[in-house]
Amino acid sequence: MVILFDRFNLPEDIYEIIFATEQQIIVAKALIRWMKENNGELTKPQMSEFATKLHEGKLITKIDRPPYIGKKVRLSYNKRQFYDRILTPMKSMGLIYYDLYKKTYRLSDAFARELMKIGEMWNQELKKKI
């Protein structure tokens, strides 16, 4: 996944930098909220339950985006697209870690560590002589 941003017009919300559409932002926030409610970790069946509820339009969550601020709404999002456009990119960027042995999804700080590495790579590039 490629993140493009304008440092002079950086949004306040990290989700707006990472995701392309309003719907993806809403679903990603709902997923992170769900994970935080479960101590930052979901089993594979719990993640499947989240995706299925989302697919069936049975997931009810609060949204902090206009015009729904503070309201509970029912979300609907295709299950396959959830895995392809939300969960997989979040795993590949290091926002979510999947433990193959425990078969759990866990919130991760790897994203922040990788961004620091990228910054250091740029600093090294600046120091290189021609």
When pLDDT is cut at 50, 70 and 90, the band that residue 5 belongs to is confident
pLDDT of 1 strictly over 80: no
pLDDT reported for residue 10:
92
Domain ranges for the chain, please list them.
12-127
Q: What is the pLDDT of residue 3?
A: 82
CATH number of 12-127: 1.10.10.10
* Reduced 3-state DSSP string for 1-21: CCCCCCHHHCCCCHHHHHCCC
Predicted confidence (pLDDT) per residue in 70-118, tens digit: 889 999 999 999 999 999 999 999 999 999 999 999 999 999 999 999 9
Pick from 86, 116, 104, 79: nearest CA to 26: 86
Q: How far apart are CA 101 and CA 118, in angstroms?
A: 29
Q: Which CA distances in Å does 77 have to 5, 6, 41, 85?
A: 26, 29, 21, 11
Q: What are phi and psi of 101, to 5 degrees?
A: -80, -45
CB atoms within 10 A of CB 22: 11
pLDDT one-digit tens code per residue, 8-67:
999 999 999 999 999 999 999 999 999 999 999 999 999 999 999 999 999 999 988 888
